[in-house]
Structure 1
């Protein structure tokens, strides 16, 4: 009888620390910040501050749940335990859907950056990037961690250099510079388009911060999940304060908010204004690094979420197969295939299929965050009723949790009101509705398979968790079976999952 497939604990604390630090620094900051500044004016850094508070609250909630019950499935498991199987199914597939679309989008974006130096077809450059990141992930979780460590290190170093040089320039401490804060008020005031426009920029700002939660998923594949998740969660406050709020404030001081150079490439323009030679080459290299980091993290995250869904019998059982290094190979390949299809769609039907995929995934992450917050609200109250003392807690519970949920709903409402983001809400809701229909069909099929006339065994060993209970299997028992890392994988080839020892009852 073969052991249940498990993932290796190949990530070290330094990997988790840099994944957490770099997770919130994506190409969206280096490019998207210019869009927000053009919309909101010099006060754009306040928009990033408000979004940062929201991300910090979500991370604190995730930290509470992840320390209490570390799991590779992370928030999909928490949603299932708190709200029921439909919520776990929704969170898992919505989050997977979001990241596989991001993988395809980033492959195309990275190819465009490569064309700055290499004159080759866009599809070929996209293919090279996808193959490179797939190979990195499929080799071992440690190789993923090493690549992400250095990718994140380059991003962090770039922001720190910008913060240092930008501060010296603004304070007049660099040659040819003088103390000048006039760009904050000289072009129509601090809020040239009104204070309410700050909310409009929140949609772009919050999407540029997505990724901090990856640390709670990766933490389950580390040697010390509790320490890794706690450290990553607590450090998110200063990361957002410095990297986002600080750098966007400097951009608003160095460059006029309404200039075309801000909207096109704000960091390139700011470095050029400071006097850094070859600013365009340097920043294009950094943006390429950010794209590769996002590709790397996207494939890792999507594959782990799919692995957990298969462990819940909500994805094909073959997805549970792992190689001898404990990597869920088929989950990774399935996620990669969708990324390749997105790349093809970007070239074959950019204005129809690819546009639909991007727009439908736009609001998905907010749906996921709302379910995360609701799960924490339920699980914390459950823990309080049981008298369990949690080692890591959400601040000012339940008021800040409720405030975060209300704020995220308000952002969704603002997206529905704005004409240019309304399609993201409608298509996102349509995608979620389709998932719930699939969930209902799967559940109905299993209720027929596990019919009442099949007698329950009176004697003998109990059935594996979830085999007889179908989708209503006890979440805690299932998560224990799937495990966040557990025993090492076997030394053979890809291992099929046997019905007798399948996590959470997944059967071939």
Structure 2
């Protein structure tokens, strides 16, 4: 009997083929396929708002306190690295849309052990992130409603976003669209107010000039050590950019969608981050204690005498936390589903119902909630170890992305150059620069006591996953040879 050859589910995930063997399909099992319910507007806002998290609104204050006005330089450097990583991701995702994104690409270009390691490392990172964001959001709610227990809010948030992700991918897209819109609008308004204050045209404000940039110890008040700490803080503030390439596989036009999202988001992200930091350190002195106690955005808004500045920013931070939580549940469920499709996870989790991998949504949410419980039961031991193990995970993932893109690009140029819709700039030079930068940031982390332990724990988790992936690869190779 003759006919069109078909591909296995594992092959379809790796090659981006549809069930009939044609290019461009999503992850598929006999139970059904992932849907294509995300629109271009969803992808654009996910790309734009996905990296705007609580780390920018609150955590950047610590970076300013150590780096001073040089925090602007730190965000420029880390922003350039993020642009390179995003461009590499965009090139691979446009050439081969898959919900397993870089894990799928690493499996094909480097080896099954690499896809296994990168995928499960990313999954653990996202699940721990779910817990951290749920706890942070609960703290804000308890501050507003002191008589309520924090666990109640964690349970409510987990139930809401687990439920929306169980229903349809369009729900995730709509939530992220509006969350991202609010975050982008908030930063846009902040930048506008900041520029007006710098120009001295806001009522009751005088143009600060360069006094705050060059005074109080100068542009680099704590030397290069302070700049290094600020650089590390800025790198981790950019986490979350991978979500758009995961989501691209479930969009209406995966190739065009991810290409457009990557191209339009990069410079805007840089503008929001670098622009925000420049406004903050220009408007108020870098050593103002309110930058760390209230957060940089609240500090500036209070300085500008904006009514209810603290509560306004609390609402924005809550939105940022819930947005990240929603995105992490989505990303973790799709990554784990991709791993299951490729035979790298429990088969029973692979079922797809109405275009949604509901069992991996539940499993990812359950792991996140379990991590929350660990934060209550053993906050200073087990939960802290989890945080340490994922502390440098984003750098490990970026390293896999760079190595994978180096190898995948050469394969595509030989076999299917027409699929290079998005191309990495100055390949391979800038890919090597990005890889060197990732290694350099890890080396800088080894200089500090607080971050050194994160590198050690993350290295341990990476090594354990790599060993498990390699053993699995060898076992499967042996079986295939015997067969």
Question: What TM-score results when the alignment is normalised by the length of structure 1?
Answer: 0.86
Quote the residue 2:179 is aligned against: 151
Contact 1:123 1:347 in 2 (8 A): no
Could you tell me how far apart the structure 2 residues matched to 1:339 and 1:91 are?
19
Question: 1:189 & 1:53 partners in 2: Cα distance?
Answer: 24
2:45 aligned with 1:18, yes or no? Answer: yes
Partners of 2:180 and 2:323 within 8 A in 1: yes
State how 1:488-499 maps to structure 2 within 5 Å. none
The answer as to whether partners of 2:119 and 2:339 remain within 8 angstroms in 1 is: yes
CA distance, structure 2, for counterparts of residue 450 and residue 392 of structure 1: 36
Give a deviation string over 1:123-153, Cα, whole Å, max 9, x none.
Answer: 2211111111111111110011111111111
Residues 1:165 and 1:340: Cα distance change in structure 2 (over 3 Å): same
- CA contact 1:56–1:236 (8 Å) conserved in 2: no
| Residue number in structure 1 paired with 2:327 | 297
The alpha-carbon deviation at position 7 of structure 1 amounts to 0.4
Deviation at 1:417, TM superposition (A): 1.8
Counterpart Cα distance in 2 of 1:437 and 1:391:
35
1:420 maps to 450
Q: Tell whether 2:340 aligns with 1:328.
A: no
Report deviation, 1:381: 1.8
* Farther-moved stretch of structure 1 (432-441 vs 80-89): 432-441
Decide whether the 8 Å contact of 1:86 with 1:439 is kept in 2: yes
State the distance in 2 between where 1:451 and 1:225 align: 37
Please report how far the alpha carbon of residue 36 of structure 1 lies from its aligned counterpart in structure 2 after TM superposition: 0.8
- Asked if residue 429 in structure 1 is aligned to residue 459 in structure 2, the reply is yes
User: Unaligned regions of 5+ residues in structure 2, if any?
Assistant: 1-28
Q: Which residue matches 1:458?
A: none
Please, which of 69, 74, 81 is the counterpart of residue 47 of structure 1?
74
Match of 1:86 in 2: 113
Task: Please report how far the alpha carbon of residue 195 of structure 1 lies from its aligned counterpart in structure 2 after TM superposition.
Answer: 3.5
SS of corresponding position for 2:407: helix
- Greater helix proportion: 2
**1:308 aligned partner:** 338
Greater Cα shift, 36-45 or 178-187: 178-187
Shift of 1:362: 0.8
Q: Is contact 1:107–1:291 with CA below 8 Å preserved after alignment?
A: yes
CA distance in 1, matches of 2:335, 2:32: 15
Q: Structure 1, unaligned stretches of length 5 or more?
A: 455-508
Q: Deviations over 1:310-330 (max 9, x none)?
A: 011111011111222x11011
One of 399, 403, 411 as aligned partner of 2:433: 403
Shift of 1:351: 0.6
Q: Does the 8 Å CA contact 1:25/1:209 hold for their aligned counterparts?
A: yes
Distance in 2 between residues matched to 1:228 and 1:321, nearest whole Å:
26
Q: Could you say what secondary structure the match of 1:313 adopts? A: coil
2:177 maps to 1:138: no
2:349 to 306, 309, 319: 319
Which is further off, 258-267 or 149-158? 258-267
8 Å contact kept, 1:32–1:205? no
Q: Aligned partners of 1:382 and 1:312: how far apart in 2? A: 21
Which is worse superposed, 262-271 or 104-113? 262-271
- Name 1:68's counterpart in structure 2: 95
Does the 8 A contact of 1:255 with 1:262 survive in 2? no
SS of residue in 2 equivalent to 1:178:
coil
Using the TM superposition, give the Cα deviation of residue 445 of structure 1 relative to its aligned residue in structure 2, in angstroms: 4.9
Matched, 1:240 2:269: yes
Q: Deviations over 1:455-498 (max 9, x none)?
A: xxxxxxxxxxxxxxxxxxxxxxxxxxxxxxxxxxxxxxxxxxxx
Instruction: Tell me which residue corresponds to 2:233.
Output: 204
Three-state SS of the structure 2 residue aligned to 1:397 is coil
Q: What residue is the counterpart of 2:33 in the other structure?
A: 6
> 1:404 deviation in Å?
0.5
Count of residue correspondences: 451
How far the C-alpha of 1:258 sits from its partner, in A, is 1.3
Corresponding residue of 1:105: 132
Q: Deviation at 1:3?
A: 3.8
Q: Deviations along 1:254-286, whole A, 9 cap, x unmatched?
A: 221112111121111111111110011100000
SS of the residue 1:170 aligns to: helix
1:256 is paired with a residue whose SS is coil
| Residues 1:175 and 2:203 are matched in the alignment | yes
Alignment root-mean-square deviation, CA: 1.5
Structure 2 residue aligned with 1:218:
247
Superposed CA deviations along residues 371-401 of structure 1, whole A, max 9, x for unmatched, are 1011111111223344724222100011100
